[in-house]
Amino acid sequence: MYYNNETYREDLANAIHSVNNYQQLNGKKFLVTGATGMLGAFVIDMLMYMNDTEKADIEVWALGRDEDKLHRRFVSSAESDKLHFVIQDVTESLSLTIKFDYLLHFAGDGYPAAFSDHPVETMTPAFIGTYNLLKYASEIDNCRFMLASTGEVYGKIEDREQIAENDHGYVDLTSFRSCYPSAKRAAESLCASFVHEYKVDAVIARFSHVYGGCVSEKDNRATAQFIRSAIDGQDIVLCSEGKQMRSYTYVADAIIGAMTILIAGEKGQAYNVANAHSRVTIAEFAEIVAKTCDVNRRFDIAVKIGDTPITFAVLDSSKIEQIGYVGRYSIQDGIARAVSIMRG
């Protein structure tokens, strides 16, 4: 459905041509989990767009739990014989017998309401789903697996200017809020174990805070709430001082990073996916959204909300840049494009 939006089509084209040696993907078979989520859906749209514009002959199996949602999300590719739907929960063993070239694991909820309302179900796609997919990959020759992980695996770190891949901070294992970073840490260890024991070709993408116009309706992260409110003409209200400093990455930049890792990443390695030129506080992000939509940003600190314990999340992007990644979108450009897409 997003194909009808000119801005989104531009994002897809930019993403394709910003990945070095992207032609290596031509003629390959992909399984993408979390197909209707922001990241998984963008990847699938990008691959289908390559077929439409460059005759790439890529075949994609999109895995999700809700068949109706899959059909609605990918109505633009409904006539393609290169897109197939796999209806199941990723925590169930795969019954497919296809020799995929790439398995991309994006399934799982990465937003605060999920952590609070169903922390157990937040953990299982990350751990059990990762096991099922790695097991499948271990039985296929020349199959590359990519785990979509998160900068939250670093935990609480506040004594440096940016966080590199070998840094480690504190995660409170007795807090239900830790369901997400703990599960992703375990999933990364599973990848390392399958690489060591079964020689699986696995790589890890640690995403920073990703935002974009194709965000899920149930996503209640602050960035999505800010943009929705501003589009509706409402003031953006912050319930804290918003001093948390973060790397924010526009979804097209995030997928440029993911595909760069898929093509050029070293087996067994993890890479931060972040735009080095897109670092702002939550309050600054809200202010840019407000100015873009001509609304006000204001504070109501008397309102209490459940904050993340992580106040600093600036990721060092030098490692991924060494394999060819270059972010395209400034924070201002990314927000403007997200607003344009969400407005329709």
Residue spans per domain, the chain:
2-214+248-275+313-328
DSSP class of residue 103?
Answer: E
In three-state secondary structure terms, 46 is helix
Q: Tell me the per-residue pLDDT of 241-289, one tens digit each, with 9 for 90 and over.
A: 888 999 999 999 999 999 999 999 999 999 999 999 999 999 999 999 9
**CA-based nearest residue to 181, from 127, 246, 243, 105:** 127
Q: Where are the alpha helices (DSSP H) in the chain?
A: 6-17, 38-54, 67-73, 112-117, 119-124, 130-138, 179-198, 222-231, 251-264, 282-293, 318-321, 331-343
Task: Please tell me the pTM assigned to this model.
Answer: 0.95
Q: Tell me the per-residue pLDDT of 75-134, one tens digit each, with 9 for 90 and over.
A: 988 889 999 999 999 999 998 999 999 999 999 987 777 888 899 999 999 999 999 999
Q: Tell me the per-residue pLDDT of 177-198, one tens digit each, with 9 for 90 and over.
A: 899 999 999 999 999 999 999 9
Count of C-beta atoms within a 10 Å radius of residue 267: 12
Count of C-beta atoms within a 10 Å radius of residue 170: 12
Homologous superfamily assigned to 2-214+248-275+313-328: NAD(P)-binding Rossmann-like Domain (3.40.50.720)
Specify the pairing of strand 245-250 against strand 209-211: parallel
